[in-house]
Structure 1
């Protein structure tokens, strides 16, 4: 009797704690941004030795970033970023790192010049375990996939698999990323995804 009551209390405690999880995530993000802002403020204040000048500089940086984002959203490119791209392309070794980082950034923000990125399902890391993956390249029947990890979709694994071992789905990059970040809680198009997995499980594949 007592053991059952203790188990219920632990379950209620667990459910109650989980109900605060979204709030905790928001507070952590806000605290992270606050720490970055305060760190930048104190560093600038040390250099300028003026509170007014520091605040104006930070407002200027924020305004520049907002303007940059607006320019990219409206025109699809930025003269400033194009100039930076050309500059880094001329620096050996650094150009490779910058180019790869730029492609990943474009993919995650939906600004990839190669078009809309395809999302597929693939059995990874073993048969019977399905994960969403982003198609990066295709050549001669082979797919280059990026398999993101939860809850951070910017980290993961790059794998090469045969094209016939992937299952295409209509998930967008944003929907797949939301699924990964929420650790499966935001399960959009669940009927389509589960039907595809069941179908792949009974369909012979060469």
Structure 2
């Protein structure tokens, strides 16, 4: 049962992430244009206060129910219709497809997009973040900086389809034994869900054992 709910949740997240982010961009654009013309949005549908945590629970339920719906034929049909409407709009088409591809790469078993999970110094020296190795930069970039670089995508919670693309020298990239799915679970849970067993490759020293220079 828990495995099925987890599948529904991840499927719902995969379906909703590009839709929500696309909707957020539209909303921000509307607010910008609204303020530009001198008007203001009128709220008031939700009163201040309320039940603490009810918003979080509601979001989890919506994502899970969306995943359950998307797993059946009716859900796939409705999703196809909605996706078709978005793809008809030139600007939204590019945003939606990019976010959808990112979501599929992070939350599905699609191989070859992210090669492996690593630890990298981010956002600064002495602080390490989980990163996903992606395609390297063009050769001209390596030649310009004078060393070989590796492309690392660093997801940010609560939406792992957004994050930072950073190019690191190879010696700063620490390999791990984590799978992409395990890394995404750790990020989504804020580090609460941690896989059992060693995380760093046996041949690699732990970050705090590497020594400061």
TM-score (norm 1): 0.51
Measure, in 2, the Cα distance between the counterparts of 1:194 and 1:64. 39
Query: Paired residue for 2:194?
Result: 187
Query: Paired residue for 1:32?
Result: 59
Q: Which has the higher contact order (CA 8 A, sep 6+)?
A: 2
Any residues of structure 2 matched to 1:132-151 within 5 Å, and which?
132-139=130-137, 140=139, 141-151=148-158
Query: Paired residue for 2:5?
Result: none
How many residue pairs get matched?
A: 149
2:136 partner SS: strand
Task: State which structure, 1 or 2, has the greater radius of gyration over its C-alpha atoms.
Answer: 1
Measure, in 2, the Cα distance between the counterparts of 1:173 and 1:96. 25
Contact 2:117/2:175 (<8 A) preserved: yes
Deviation at 1:100, TM superposition (A): 1.3
Contact 1:121/1:131 (<8 A) preserved: yes
Query: Paired residue for 2:38?
Result: none
Gaps spanning 5+ residues in structure 1: where?
A: 1-23, 38-60, 72-77
Deviation at 1:32, TM superposition (A): 3.3
Measure, in 2, the Cα distance between the counterparts of 1:62 and 1:122. 32
2:71 partner SS: helix
**Residues 99-155 of structure 1: CA distance to partner in whole angstroms, max 9, x if unpaired?**
311221111222536356421110111121111111232244332222123454344
TM-score (norm 2): 0.50
**Residues 53-109 of structure 1: CA distance to partner in whole angstroms, max 9, x if unpaired?**
xxxxxxxx99863325998xxxxxx9x86xx68x93x86444432331122111122
Runs of 4+ in 1 over 6 A off after TM superposition: 61-64
Gaps spanning 5+ residues in structure 2: where?
A: 1-51, 140-147
Describe the shift of the 1:145–1:67 C-alpha distance in structure 2 as closer, same or farther (beyond 3 A): same
